[in-house]
């Protein structure tokens, strides 16, 4: 089972999903199926706590997450830690892709590919208003992780294909415009410059009425 929370830290019109495994076995599953480009991993430093995942809005830089949103995820960690709930804690977070799980690790245990890419912030004391607000949104749901990943990958492929088609159409339109511009310049060059003999002949030809004498025509 997976626990889902909804944070309104960015406003009611932009809810952010925070989720966690109900136990250490579910945490193992979440490590396999998080969204690489969007999910942050959040935990209480040096204490037992839930492994929290914060799903960032599309395009948000993980190093520029608003403090209020981080505090929401951090308070879920703190509230779920037997020791941490009673004291000031340091919350650690990083991109979920930075989490390293080796085969010889105990269930639920992880480390980091690069410890330098782990950020920290402090929560001095529990803020009940935050915890209560988030608990009101909590939903426990059975998740078919593999099916959700397949559907997500399908949607990602669809978006990438649409973006590729849009780029191809834009390139085609640009090529057509360039061709039209080149043809227009080529046509313009067919006309003689003003003041030359060729220009005068072109002017006479354009202005003469039908039946007028053409000096280049042979006659008897």
Read off the tokens for 91. Answer: 């919350």
Q: What is the pTM of this model?
A: 0.72
Q: Are 101 and 31 in contact (CB under 8 A)?
A: yes
Does residue 134 share a domain with residue 120? yes
Within-domain flag for 182: yes
**Per-residue confidence (pLDDT) for residue 148, from 0 to 100:** 79
Asked if pLDDT for residue 215 goes beyond 80, the answer is no
Distance CA 98, CA 117 (A): 8
Does residue 158 share a domain with residue 92? no
Does residue 74 share a domain with residue 61? yes
What pLDDT digit, counting tens, does each position of 41-74 carry? 999 999 999 999 999 999 999 999 999 999 999 9
* Short-list 74, 179, 180, 56, CA closest to 125: 74
Does residue 132 share a domain with residue 56? yes
**Per-residue confidence (pLDDT) for residue 219, from 0 to 100:** 47
């Amino acid at each position: 089972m997976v626990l889902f929370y909804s944070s309104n830290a960015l406003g009611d019109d932009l809810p952010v999903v925070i989720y966690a495994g109900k136990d250490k076995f579910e945490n193992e599953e979440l490590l396999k199926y998080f969204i690489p480009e969007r999910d942050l991993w959040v935990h209480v430093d040096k204490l037992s706590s839930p492994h929290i995942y914060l799903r960032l809005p599309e395009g948000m830089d993980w190093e520029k997450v608003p403090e209020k949103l981080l505090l929401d995820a951090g308070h879920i960690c703190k509230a779920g830690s037997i020791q941490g709930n009673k004291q000031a804690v340091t919350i650690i977070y990083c991109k979920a892709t930075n989490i390293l799980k080796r085969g010889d690790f105990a269930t639920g245990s992880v480390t980091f590919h690069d410890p330098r890419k782990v950020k920290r912030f402090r929560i001095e004391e529990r803020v009940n208003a935050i915890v209560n607000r988030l608990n009101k949104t909590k939903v426990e749901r059975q998740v078919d992780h593999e099916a959700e990943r397949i559907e997500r990958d399908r949607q990602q492929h669809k978006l990438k294909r649409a973006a590729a088609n849009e780029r191809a159409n834009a390139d085609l339109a640009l090529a057509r415009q360039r061709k039209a511009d080149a043809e227009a310049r080529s046509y313009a060059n067919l006309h003689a410059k003003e003041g030359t003999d060729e220009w005068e002949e072109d002017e006479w030809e354009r202005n003469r009425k039908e039946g007028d004498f053409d000096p280049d025509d042979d006659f008897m």
